[in-house]
Structures are given as C-alpha cells and as structure tokens.
Amino acid sequence: MDPFAALFAHVTPKARTFFTGKLCKTVQYPDVGHLHFLKEGELTLVQNGQNDVRFNEPTLLFFPRGRVHSFAADSERGADLVCATVELGGAEGNPIGRGLPELVVLPLASHPGLAPICDLLLDEAFSERGGRQEALDRLFDYLLILIVRHVVENGGIATGVLAGLADPRLAKALTAIHETPKKSWTLDDLASIAGMSRTRFAEHFRTRIGQTPIDYLTVWRMTIARQLLARGNPVKSVALQVGYQSAAAFSRVFSRVTGEAPRNSNDAGLKKG
C-alpha cells in the first residue's frame, strides 16, 4: 500500500523555478510557498519575529505555506542559489501544506539521500541547455515529494494528515478515504479498516489528525469538489462524485466548510463577464 498515492493524485505539489545564479544583495520574498537551494556561499535568513540564521553549506530551505522572508548575502562573495515558488493546493486547502512545519531546513551533509536530485538540479540550473525551465520545474516537483516523504518518515510532524499517514493503522483508514471519498463511510467502517475498536480509533484519529474521522472525510470531499468545480464540472455532477445524492445537500455542506456557495469555473466566467 502506498499511503501517498491517492493523496498526491489529487494534490500533487508543484514548483516553478524563478531564480538561478549568484545573489549579491538583500532580497525579500513574498508570502507564498518557496523552496530554495543554497549551492555555496554564505546566506543569512531574516524573518520578522525570528532570530537571523546564517547558512554556509549546501542546504535546502522549504517554506510550505508561504512566509515573508529575506536573504542577505555578501555583496562581493555572494551566494549561489536556485529558487522556486511552491504550490501545495492553495485555495483547495491542500492537507499536505497544512501538515508541514512553517520551515523545513535540510543541510545536504546531514541528508545525503537528497544529494543525487540536487546534483541534477544544479546541473540544469547552471547550464543553458534546451528545455531548461521545464527540466528544473520537474526536478523541483520531485524534490518536493522527497522532502515530504523525508519529513514524514523521520517523525518531523506531530499532527495532521501527514502525521496520520506515518501511523500504520491510521494510514489504512486515511488511504481508504482518499481513494474513495464518495463512499458513505461510517466510523465503524474506518475503525475496522484500521484494525481498532471504534472508540480507540475515534480517539486516536482525533489526537493524531486534529479532526474527527467524519470531519476529515467532509473536508477531503470539499477539497476534491473545489478542484472539480475549478475544471468546469457542473455542481450536480460534482456532488455525486464526492458522495452526495443531491446538489442541495452538497451545496449546504460546501458553503459551511468553505464559506462560499459552490460554483464552477464556467459559472464564474459568465458572472464576471
């Protein structure tokens, strides 16, 4: 069983490379997800309300959900950087982004398993070969998955869906929800899949995930629904695909969870026009 398969099928992390080269000044980055790779040189990370942190060895710095930050580099020596913006679901409420720490710092010396992909990234970043942008973006996409996997496997997350996927019993129930969100899951069904008593499962799920199993199921359904609506699917069709027999029932839940009425991209375009 791959506990990430169904999750990534709906909320695949995506990256877009925007800088490769030597940084020789102070630069501020906006409140969106970022993944930076320091190749060499010395770099100081500046964040409001936090102590400055200096890096002087190859290091990955990952801001999953977005946080305003700055890098200060020596004007003469500079720092060789490769930087990408990161999208972890944004409006769809990607549970991956919600489950990660504010900042993940991974020095390559302590995480040699990441070195091969970083070598490929650098080879592309500091070359001028055809297809460079696409190659960099796809390498960053893969690197994002490796980072998420690493954080989960090393127990770096205490609560949230990624913490649940690191738990062998909860992972079975979560995978079932992710794979078949339209099914009318009950607490007993999910507890049975996890191999736990109903009471113990409900307590353990809430402690580990931060939500009840049924609440998580509802939020996951709305995550998928927002994606389907964004692709232009009719509300009635979306309702059926995420487990509701009527558009009215779906609309009530969607409005309660998201704070807005369900509307597909075609409807939005017509209203805008």
pTM reported for the whole predicted model: 0.80
**Domain presence at residue 176:** yes
Does one domain contain both 99 and 173?
Answer: no
What is the rounded distance in angstroms from the CA atom of residue 15 to the CA atom of residue 150? 18
Q: Which residue, 88, 118, 153, sits at the end of a domain?
A: 153
- Radius of gyration of the chain, Cα coordinates, nearest whole angstrom: 21
For 236, list phi and psi in degrees, rounded to 5. Answer: -60, -40
Does one domain contain both 45 and 108?
Answer: yes
| 38 neighbors 61 (Cβ within 8 angstroms) | yes
Does one domain contain both 29 and 143?
Answer: yes
Does one domain contain both 68 and 188?
Answer: no
Interval 241-249 mean pLDDT:
95
Does one domain contain both 81 and 119?
Answer: yes
Does one domain contain both 28 and 112?
Answer: yes
Top-ranked range on mean pLDDT: pick from 1-5, 83-87, 100-104, 238-242: 238-242
Give me the number of domains the chain comprises: 2
**Domain presence at residue 160:** no
Does one domain contain both 28 and 132?
Answer: yes
Which CATH number characterizes residue 97's domain?
2.60.120.10
Residue 34 burial (C-beta neighbours within 10 Å; 0-12, 13-18, 19+): buried
- Which one, of 15, 270, 264, 51, lies nearest residue 140 by Cα? 15
**Domain presence at residue 128:** yes
pLDDT digits (tens, 9 = 90+) for 24-77: 999 999 988 999 999 999 999 999 999 999 999 999 999 988 789 999 998 888
Does one domain contain both 108 and 185?
Answer: no
pLDDT of the residue at 1: 64
**Domain presence at residue 162:** no
pLDDT of 270 over the 70 cut: no
C-alpha distances (whole Å) from 80 to each of 84, 92, 119, 126, 182 are: 14, 34, 14, 10, 48
Query: Considering only 14-18, 39-43, 108-112, 145-149, which range has the smallest mean pLDDT?
Result: 145-149
Tell me which residue range forms the domain holding 224: 167-272
pLDDT of 273 over the 60 cut: no
Q: How far is CA 183 from the centre of its chain?
A: 25
Does one domain contain both 190 and 136?
Answer: no
pLDDT of 90 over the 50 cut: no
Does one domain contain both 19 and 139?
Answer: yes
**Domain presence at residue 237:** yes
Which of helix, strand or coil describes residue 51?
Answer: coil
For 172, the token pair is: 């079975």
Does one domain contain both 140 and 26?
Answer: yes
Which CATH number characterizes residue 213's domain?
1.10.10.60
**Domain presence at residue 175:** yes
H helices of the chain, where?
Answer: 5-10, 95-99, 115-125, 132-153, 161-165, 168-179, 187-194, 198-209, 213-230, 235-241, 247-258, 265-272
**Domain presence at residue 226:** yes
